[in-house]
Structure 1
Amino acid sequence: CDFGFDDWWLTAGCLAQSVWNVSASRPAENEIADYDLFYCDSDTSWDAEDKVITAVADLLSDLPIRIEVRNQARVPIWYRQKFGIEYGAVNAASDGIDRFAYRTTAIGLRKDPDGYRLYAPFGLDAVLSGTIIPNPVLPIRQVYEAKTARWQSIWPDLRVMPWPDDA
């Protein structure tokens, strides 16, 4: 797919959840709420991001899925208002992956001219073993605990590591 950006990733729960579904002998897309597409563009206007959201929705309109498209360079603009903490500057789409609340879902996949490229800063062992490991780079414990509770209700064999008390 050509989204018009070199710096983009299909990322987050959709990748990990596909692994958990296959491990549980379920269809790969089972219970996946949405598919996250991160990109990084220096134009941080809402209009520019909205145009990309619309273009991606049109491009993938034949797929029966919900796609969340986010310009990672815009995240610092709204993050404090939503979560009450600073996010810090973003220089690449992978910066957003690095800051996920879960090391387990910090995975990105994209198609390059030479094939597929995988970005997994914490490796793949946790996702393959069904272990949810926190990434306390940002103090968003409530996000971690809410999503892990949802995931465990769907995939009860997941092992959830606790959020560190000092984070």
Structure 2
Amino acid sequence: MPIPAPDDARFLEDILANRCNRAILDAWEALELEDGWLVAGCLFQTIWNLRDGRAPGHGIKDYDIFYFDAADLSVAGEARVQQRVDRVLGPLGVPVEVKNQARVHLWYEEHFGYPYPQLASAKEGIDRFLIPSTCVGVRWLGGRHELYVPNGLSILYAGVLTPNPLTCHLPLFREKAASYKSRWEWLQVCEEA
């Protein structure tokens, strides 16, 4: 019998099995983030951990939050948002990293060695993760969870790792894919999208 395709309800149920994801989203309104999203590893690694029968939060080193504030591109402004998030989520006892997607183009090339375009939203930052199956985000908005999965959920649940044509930096992709594959051996790495 074929396995049914994953849907938004399953994804939401799975990521909320991670107590930290749940706690962050439960406190979302108190974070007061402009165009804010809980993103990346804390979501897709939870999915992969569940598939392996591990605890949902196993090995997740931090929880990433994107927001977008084009009015303040300063390091100090981002630090103030980080401090506010730390005050709210500090009792959770896990590292939470907050990044303003409006300023990534100012530091990305120096840090990673590749140019990066100026973005117009936090979603555009999610779109540019190195691996399309990891382009996922969630937030609490208007009394419900809103998901952003621009490449669909099937490749995430299947564990398919391909380079993202929006950020096709093959050395960075290979490093990241090898790191993931060392932790979840069943992942499939393919350099051709």
Q: Same fold (TM over 0.5)?
A: yes
Partner of 1:91: 120
Equivalent position SS for 1:101: coil
TM-score with structure 1 length normalisation?
0.92
Task: Name segments (4+ residues, structure 1) moved above 2 Å.
Answer: 83-86
1:1-167 matches, cutoff 5 A: 1-2=28-29, 3-42=31-70, 43-162=72-191
Matching residue's letter, 2:35:
D
Matching residue's letter, 1:124:
L
Residue 112 (structure 1) shift: 0.8
Per-residue CA shift, 1:9-52, capped at 9, x if unaligned? Answer: 11112111100001111111011121110000021011110000
Gapped runs of 5+ residues in structure 2?
Answer: 1-27
The answer to whether the 8 Å contact 1:136/1:163 transfers is no
Change over 3 Å in CA distance of 1:6–1:50 after alignment to 2: closer
Q: Number of paired residues? A: 164
| Bigger helix share | 2
Q: How high is the sequence identity, in percent, across the aligned residues?
A: 37
| Distance in 2 of aligned mates of 1:10 and 1:163 | 28
The answer to whether the 8 Å contact 1:104/1:134 transfers is no
Matching residue's letter, 2:50:
V
Equivalent position SS for 1:122: coil
Gapped runs of 5+ residues in structure 1?
Answer: none
| Distance in 2 of aligned mates of 1:25 and 1:116 | 25
TM-score with structure 2 length normalisation?
0.80
Per-residue CA shift, 1:50-97, capped at 9, x if unaligned? Answer: 000111111111113211110000101111212233211111101101
